[in-house]
Amino acid sequence: MDKSSNGHPAVLDTAPKSPANVSIAAGRGTLIIIGGHEDKSDGREILTRVAEAAEHKKVVVATLASSMAEETWQDYKRAFHELKVKHVVHLDIPDRGSSFDKAHIDTLDGADLIFFAGGDQLEITTKIGGTELCDKIQDMFRKGVAVAGTSAGASVMSETMLIGASDEQSSIAYSMAPGLGFLRHVVIDQHFAQRGRIGRLLSAVARNPRMLGIGIDENTAIVVNQEKCDVIGRGSVYVIDGRALTATNLANESEPNSMSIYDVRLHVLNCGDRFDLVARKPLGHIGAQT
């Protein structure tokens, strides 16, 4: 048997795929996943794309993650009104009990896009996970309603989200928790280059190479339609594919604050680049999409 330079059996660049482990959106709606700190007052390239995805009709701004929900709501209300969105409404869920209120569930009626603002991603999942409100959002997405999220709102887009350690701690000292599952077999990290999170995402992928890791810089986003994603904004997107990974020390929880990973693949994309989530390969520079 052929062996690679590290002494492990040689592997193909891409391991076999099956429907059970393909990275793909879980619905027909567009996903806009933002790395945080998107421009709200000048060029507003990303929020313009969000408004376009809603066809400038009805946007529901969900401030579940924010500790300053009213201030966050006012910022987005102003931005979307200036972008000529006709109907901008606030979904404010201060606690889990509020998620059962019919008035909050009815807020979603007729929405063309649901926007999850930033804050703490666990606030989103603990408040609405398993509720009729959450089921309604997921059903709307399956039927074609667009969903967007920034910062913490980006992290919940995937089945598994990264939570925990502060940025000053070890890149392997963090936890994972279930997200909302709009994007299958993917783990998202945000504020990526700005907070030095490459190690965190690498280790997350190494701990489960079935997951495709996507790190998104601030004022940058991916626009996902089924298996294709396009990059917009001012920064980069980092895609980590660990399917061909041959060895890592991260299976050993006693390892101190360091990691070893062999044969992982990294793609770095910027505005105008397109990526195929199923094939796990870049499709080239297709230019800014409108």
Q: What is the pLDDT of residue 42?
A: 86
Kindly report, residue by residue over 235-277, the tens digit of the pLDDT: 999 999 999 999 998 887 665 568 899 999 999 999 999 999 9
Question: In the Cβ-directed half-sphere of 180, how many Cα atoms lie within 13 Å?
Answer: 33
Q: What is the pLDDT of residue 251?
A: 81
Mean pLDDT of 52-69: 97
Kindly report, residue by residue over 12-26, the tens digit of the pLDDT: 454 455 556 789 899
Kindly report, residue by residue over 162-193, the tens digit of the pLDDT: 986 555 556 676 889 999 999 999 999 999 99
pLDDT of 211 higher than 90: yes
**Residue 290: which pLDDT band, with cuts at 50, 70 and 90?**
very low
Q: Could you give phi then psi for residue 206, rounded to 5 degrees?
A: -60, -35
Q: What is the pLDDT of residue 208?
A: 92
Q: DSSP alpha helices (H): ranges in 94-196? A: 102-106, 121-128, 132-143, 152-155
DSSP one-letter code for 10:
P
pLDDT of 83 higher than 50: yes
Mean pLDDT of 62-83: 96
Domains, the chain, with CATH or none = 24-273 (3.40.50.880)
Q: If DSSP codes are grouped into helix, strand and coil, which group holds residue 24?
A: strand
Sign of CA dihedral 46, 49, 51, 54: negative
Mean pLDDT of 52-64: 98
Neighbours of 88 (CB within 10 A): 20
What is the pLDDT of the chain when averaged over all its residues? 90
